[in-house]
Structure 1
């Protein structure tokens, strides 16, 4: 039978175990934002967890704007932004962990091999609506655009000197995978996504192709050597100078220890 003393010891032991459980659960790092960076951050997070068994890394996508806002408002320990910070965001700290490019994609069966900047502008603003106008088949063009808050959209607009209100899309998508699936499922579609993601998908049988830009092939290698005209940094963002667990993760994500993960995701690791 349990005496009062034994019951007290059991209660104390359970309280201790409960406290340890709470302590363990508290070692959680929340990272939100860019859907381009999210798969990369998730893989880096898995390796970080293996080296730090008492830590759990929770990665959530939603766009670069979410990453910036969540970091600023304390809703995430770290935000993800697949672009440089804007002037009005210079109160935040950013840390580049890799580089990426943005490329225009078509279905692989589309015979069009290249488009000038002006042709891309005319397609996206509704002045060109049929592929035969740019040397393709007699088929309607399906314009696929990115949703507001996506850094890919902002960079695309900046490069082509457009406003989002200028664009006449038939489909509006969120992350890169949605864009790739939409174009892969529609031979008449045109979209724009991460070069690294698109190169990986096309290399693994997804029926899409990347178009060159200004005569430069849209490849990870050309992003690496600086010749591709539309590239961007992949950044981790914090409200203040990172400390503790957030600093340890950012240092790890910026180190040579994860270069193989960066390259496996078809991004460009930083030269050190």
Structure 2
């Protein structure tokens, strides 16, 4: 009888763990995608209180996908990642909203805007002083993302083109770290996913070229993609993912999920 009792207890525990796992969804991947996923997870769990969603940012390069995982990227998928994904079986990849890379400076910096060419020259090290772009006679402290983040790769592709980023820079792993250091350094410039930028820094307008007006990374400019550093954000799941994972993705792509995104200043895809 004692042995049966122990086995019964073990089975009950295993069943409970199985139920817990069945109702658990994990987000991992891009830190820039983490912010909208937190809002989406909260909205989805309010509708489905039996579901628990863990939202963890690990970077666009930390490619991992399984039956209970929804994975985010803030850039295009790489060829080697497509090959890697095949090891997991067929993968569904969806564009779910538009975000943007914001450019910002210390609030006391008199500069209010730049164009893409000026930004390229600053981050490539060709422009080293604020007076060269209409500011005061002070050296520019360049702050960038590091760790081969999706934001870093997108920025270098869209802004630097064929140039290399200056070696005279501060490289930080997370969006909020870039915001924090720029807020404390009067001569700094930085970039981050727009949702992480707050009033401790001044967001600059950005123009495609010197002959076009600069615009801010605001919702209306993300919607019509007039802001030069607007970018799509992506989610990936296995095609044979758990039903809860598929349902969560369907919620994200639905009008209700897209409204959640719009409420936090991400441009919907619909």
How far 1:76 sits from its partner (Å)? Answer: 6.6
* 2:51 is aligned with 1:59: no
2:185 — aligned with what? 186
2:76 — aligned with what? 84
Residue 32 of structure 1 aligns to a residue in which SS? strand
Structure 1 unaligned blocks of 5 or more: none
2:249 — aligned with what? 250
Match of 1:70 among 64, 67, 70: 64
* 2:223 is aligned with 1:232: no
1:45 — aligned with what? 41
Distance 2:260 2:102 in 1: 21
**Contact 1:145/1:169, CA 8 A, preserved across alignment:** no
Quick one: structure 1 residues 230 and 209, their matched pair in 2 at CA, closer, same or farther if it must change by over 3 Å? closer
RMSD in angstroms over aligned alpha carbons?
A: 2.6
Match of 1:26 among 9, 21, 29: 21
Distance 1:239 1:17 in 2: 29
**Contact 1:223/1:231, CA 8 A, preserved across alignment:** yes
**Contact 2:124/2:163, CA 8 A, preserved across alignment:** no
How far 1:100 sits from its partner (Å)? Answer: 1.0
How far 1:31 sits from its partner (Å)? Answer: 1.5
Structure 1 residues 260-269 or 29-38, which shifts more?
A: 260-269
Distance 1:168 1:63 in 2: 22
Distance 1:10 1:83 in 2: 53
Quick one: structure 1 residues 174 and 183, their matched pair in 2 at CA, closer, same or farther if it must change by over 3 Å? same
Residue 238 of structure 1 aligns to a residue in which SS? strand
Structure 2 unaligned blocks of 5 or more: none
How far 1:13 sits from its partner (Å)? Answer: 6.9
Larger Rg: 1
Quick one: structure 1 residues 190 and 105, their matched pair in 2 at CA, closer, same or farther if it must change by over 3 Å? same
**Contact 1:101/1:220, CA 8 A, preserved across alignment:** no
Residue 41 of structure 1 aligns to a residue in which SS? helix
Distance 1:267 1:175 in 2: 19
Quick one: structure 1 residues 167 and 220, their matched pair in 2 at CA, closer, same or farther if it must change by over 3 Å? farther
Structure 1 residues 162-171 or 57-66, which shifts more?
A: 162-171
How far 1:145 sits from its partner (Å)? Answer: 1.1
Taking structure 1 as the reference length, the TM-score comes to 0.82
* 2:180 is aligned with 1:175: no
What whole-Å deviation, never above 9, does each CA across 1:190-223 have from its counterpart, x for those lacking one? Answer: 111223443xx23xxx232233222231222101
**Contact 1:259/1:269, CA 8 A, preserved across alignment:** yes
How far 1:104 sits from its partner (Å)? Answer: 1.6
**Contact 2:114/2:204, CA 8 A, preserved across alignment:** no
* Equivalent residues, number: 257
Residue 36 of structure 1 aligns to a residue in which SS? helix
Structure 1 residues 14-23 or 130-139, which shifts more?
A: 14-23
How far 1:250 sits from its partner (Å)? Answer: 0.8
Distance 1:18 1:31 in 2: 25
1:216 — aligned with what? 214
